[in-house]
Structure 1
Amino acid sequence: MFEDIPVEVSPMYEGERIRAANMFVELAGPKSIGAELVQVDDSLTEEKFEVIGSELSDMNQGDIIPFGLKIAIKGEKLEQELEGVIERRTHDLCNYVQGFMHLNQRDQIWCRVSTEAKDAGFKLVHLAKAVGTLFKEEFPIIETIAVTILTKKEEVEEFVEGAKSTYSIRDARSRELSDEDVDVFYGCLMCQSFAPSHMCVVTPDRTALCGAINWFDCRASAKMDPDGAIFEIEKGEVIDEEKGEYINVNNMISQKTQGETERVFLHSVFEYPHTSCGCFEAVAFYIPELDGIGIVDRDFNGETPLGIPFSSMAGQCSGGKQVEGFTGLSLEYMRSPKFLQADGAYNRVVWLPQNIKESLKEYIPKDLYDKIPTDADATKVKEIKTYLNDHNHPILERIANQNQTDEEDEEDSVSTTSQEDTTPEYAPVMTSPEISVPASGGVRIVFKNAKIYAEKVIIKKKK
């Protein structure tokens, strides 16, 4: 099947990592531009695999090149509703190619070609042929396919803009429904090769973490392939509507992650936040000093208020880990009326990058928009606190109420303490509705309505 391709093509290479030291060229990624797009094209008459722009043989080691992957498909049973699901498989199928690494999705793709693959005679047109063949094998309803790879900057720029427009149309359709309108949610396991203990839960109000798959996409996929990576979850009985916890969802997550994850809150970063894969578009993170939540996306290149960049934060909470105070999410989820509703939604957001804020102007409450600082206003916790005070952010009322509760607790404590007590004065540095701490023997200690006090907090940045 792949005799004319000089490298192996097999699922065994899925998950292969190409580090900088072993890289010939980088395609798209954070230092360039790129996108992938699958579209149904009824006018397609013949299969075609081509490269528009430079081939690998025209590039130099270490180059960072714009990259577009344009895929046109045709088939009697194909419909536009399937485009997003088929497109999401680009990630897996590209990674079947030995010496080619594909990360992320949509206009966030980041690819690399290894020096070994280049030395073996691998070309980008081979990638196009491999992807086209794999797509037809994976989806028999595809009768004809054309794969075009773009590396010419002007062509890629035009392609990316068109792709973004298509993504927006798909996303807008997903806002037609809410969780209350359906009886079925969906589970997605497409990222389990990279995150074995992760299962994405997709609902009308919560798109997949990658941002590439919504509820409608999942419905079409499950209908086409009921035994595939996307499957139905009967919504069933709700445990907590505000937090977004459902009995059937918990049962399915436990089953699909071999018991690694047993509970998930779809709309909270606390207690049992949704696990994160690695392809998520953004991360929501708790800032203890402000009792607020920050958001950072993978396009942000600076340091977050926690003193670490997106890449470090993503490394801490990806791979299917369930880390309280952190959760991966899609940018589309931030347009949902249920966005972190259990935590206070935008009333609890105290920092996010400027570009995200501008893109969400229609969805952030008008009375809050100017009160939420961005990286253009503040980057350090002290600066953010000043901004929140100057703009009367609603988090101040929450902090004031919390401080009042703390003072009352301290007064009660003082009344039962002797005059000679020399215990040092501690200040509250973190509050959470629930904090879980692992202990030996598989025991998990859970603190309800926890308040953590410390005489001194020292935060050191790793060198």
Structure 2
Amino acid sequence: MVERTKIKIPKGVKKKVNKGEEEFPFDISPMYEGERVRKGEMFVELGGPKQTGFELILNLPSGKVDDMKATLIGDDIDSFEEGKSYSYAMIYYIAGSQLDTDIEPVVERRNHDFQNFIQGYMHLNQRYDIWVRINKEAVKKGLKSLTQIAQATMLLFKNEMPFIEKIEAVYITDGDMVKKLLDEYAMPIYEERDARVETLHDEDVEEFYSCTLCQSFAPANVCVISPDRPSLCGAITWFDGRAASRVDPEGPNKAIPKGDLIDPIGGEYTGVDEFARTESGGNVDKIKLHSFFDYPHTSCGCFEVIGFYMPEVDGIGFLHRG
């Protein structure tokens, strides 16, 4: 197992620390989920297609987590140049008696969920594909530091996921440091998570798991996570879904009994079809987990890879988001 440790902050780097915000200069509400920040409305862009970015959750012993402390390394909003793009890393250390490393990816994926509660702040994608935009209006209203975003996000984590007893955030905008940490710190953990599920297949388990986090963007999307099919965003494997379901059975990751196998090639199960009908509000009748043409899986906007059919060569192509 890759060792979980705090990052080492070099001496002499630009650093800002925040231990608590009494008031925020922005609203926080689920009503802002789905809010988009278009290019003309954008004050600044973080990560995305032009710069390196990632987000990472690490479970640590309680004594090593400084609760509600937010640290920023690098330039901040009040020194950003309007219209520019910057590198961005968000690292959270969490602690709690019910937590272990299995829950890390599940909590990590909720960063997307909670940060979109913040008015004027758009968060897209996951892991090393994160893409954030901050609205000009948010800056005019008083958003001057990413530590304010970190504080608001940590409050949401603790309010919505009470099994998190302590949380600490480190945000980084120093481009060289973000790239180094992605390569040497985050990628080994992502790869370790993915490797766990490589020898497990759909026929080896009795239930799959759902993810409905993206229904604020795609209301009819029902993400079904099986051993052979991770979440569309690439961030949650079958093991992650199982861990989330056990900790929060009424949350966005629910167990889906497979039911009877209808199509062994396309991957259709009675339990999945029934769940899809219920969770999509009747918009989806069937899902074949491994089919391009016959009742394909639904999609949100956070998919990591898209597949497409090329009739000219009667072949399948894949396009990676990066």
TM-score by length of 1: 0.63
Give the residue type in structure 2 aligned to 1:72.
Y
Q: Provide the rounded CA distance (Å) in 1 between the counterparts of 2:29 and 2:256.
A: 31
Instruction: Name the counterpart of 2:64.
Output: 44
Query: Which residue matches 2:128?
Result: 107
Q: Please identify the structure whose Cα radius of gyration is greater.
A: 1
For the residues of structure 2 that align with 1:107 and 1:73, how far apart are their CA atoms?
Answer: 20
Aligned 8 A contact 1:44 1:73 in 2: no
Name the residue aligned to 1:364.
none
**Which residue number in structure 1 is paired with residue 207 of structure 2?**
184
For the residue of structure 2 that corresponds to 1:46, the secondary structure is coil
Counterpart CA distance in 1 for 2:307 and 2:254 is 26
Residue 316 of structure 1 corresponds to none
Instruction: Tell me which residue corresponds to 2:35.
Output: 16
SS of structure 2 residue aligned to 1:89? helix
Residue 45 of structure 1: CA displacement? 4.0
Q: Distance in 2 between matches of 1:241 and 1:227?
A: 30
Aligned residue number for residue 286 of structure 1: 309
What displacement does 1:3 show? 4.3
Give the structure 2 partner of residue 30 of structure 1. 49
Q: What does residue range 311-326 of structure 1 map to in structure 2 within 5 Å? A: none
Match of 2:158 among 136, 147, 150: 136
Matched residue, 1:147: 169
Q: Does 1:54 align with 2:75?
A: yes
Residue 107 of structure 1 and its aligned partner are, at CA, apart by 0.3
RMSD across aligned C-alpha pairs, in angstroms? 1.2
Aligned length: 299
Task: Look up the equivalent residue of 1:136 and give its one-letter code.
Answer: K
More contact order relative to length (CA 8 Å, sep ≥ 6): 2
Partner of 1:7: 26
AA aligned opposite 1:142:
I
Aligned twin of 1:408 = none
- 1:148 Cα deviation (Å)? 1.0
Distance 1:10 1:51 in 2: 24
Asked if 1:261 is matched to 2:284, the reply is yes
- Please identify runs of 4+ aligned residues in structure 1 that moved more than 6 A: none
1:248-297 C-alpha deviation (Å, 9 max, x unpaired): 11111011111111111111101211111111101110111111111111
Distance (whole Å) between structure 1 residues aligned to residue 269 and residue 307 of structure 2: 22
Q: What secondary structure sits across from 2:164 in the alignment?
A: coil
CA pair 254-2 structure 1, distance change in 2 beyond 3 A: farther
> Which deviations, in whole Å up to 9, do the C-alpha atoms of 1:83-105 show, x marking residues without a partner?
00000000011111111100000
Q: Does 1:275 align with 2:294?
A: no
Distance change >3 Å, CA 52–CA 219, structure 1 → 2:
same
- Does the aligned pair in 2 maintain the 1:36–1:69 contact within 8 Å? yes
Q: Secondary structure at the match of 1:84?
A: helix
Tell me the amino acid that sits aligned with residue 105 of structure 1.
Q
Aligned to 1:232: 255
What amino acid is aligned across from residue 101 of structure 1 in structure 2? M
C-alpha contact 1:2 1:9 (8 A) present in aligned 2:
no
Q: Say whether the 8 Å CA contact 1:203–1:214 is kept in structure 2.
A: yes
Question: Are the equivalent residues in 1 in contact too, given 2:21–2:148 (CA < 8 A)?
Answer: no
Q: Equivalent residues in 2 for 1:61-100 (5 A)?
A: 61-100=82-121
Match of 2:149 among 119, 127, 134: 127
Aligned counterparts of 1:170 and 1:57: Cα–Cα separation in 2: 36
SS in 1 for 2:114: helix
- The structural deviation recorded for 1:2 is 6.5
Name the aligned partner's letter for residue 305 of structure 2.
Answer: A
Kindly provide the amino acid, as one letter, of the partner of residue 198 in structure 1. N
**Partner AA of 2:130 in structure 1:** I
Whether the aligned pair in 2 keeps the contact of 1:44 and 1:144 (CA below 8 Å) is: no
How far did residue 159 of structure 1 move?
2.0
Q: CA deviation at 1:36?
A: 0.1
- 2:65/2:94 contact within 8 Å kept: no
Provide, for residues 29-56 of structure 1, a one-character-per-residue CA deviation record: whole Å limited to 9, x for no partner. Answer: 0011100000101142422112110010
Q: Which letter does structure 1 place at the counterpart of 2:38?
A: R
Q: Deviations over 1:341-367 (max 9, x none)?
A: xxxxxxxxxxxxxxxxxxxxxxxxxxx
1-structure distance, mates of 2:311, 2:303: 23
**Equivalent pair of 2:211/2:254 in contact (CA under 8 Å):** yes
Q: Which amino acid aligns with 1:197?
A: A
Helix, strand or coil at the partner of 1:69: strand
Displacement after TM superposition at 1:160 (Å)? 1.4
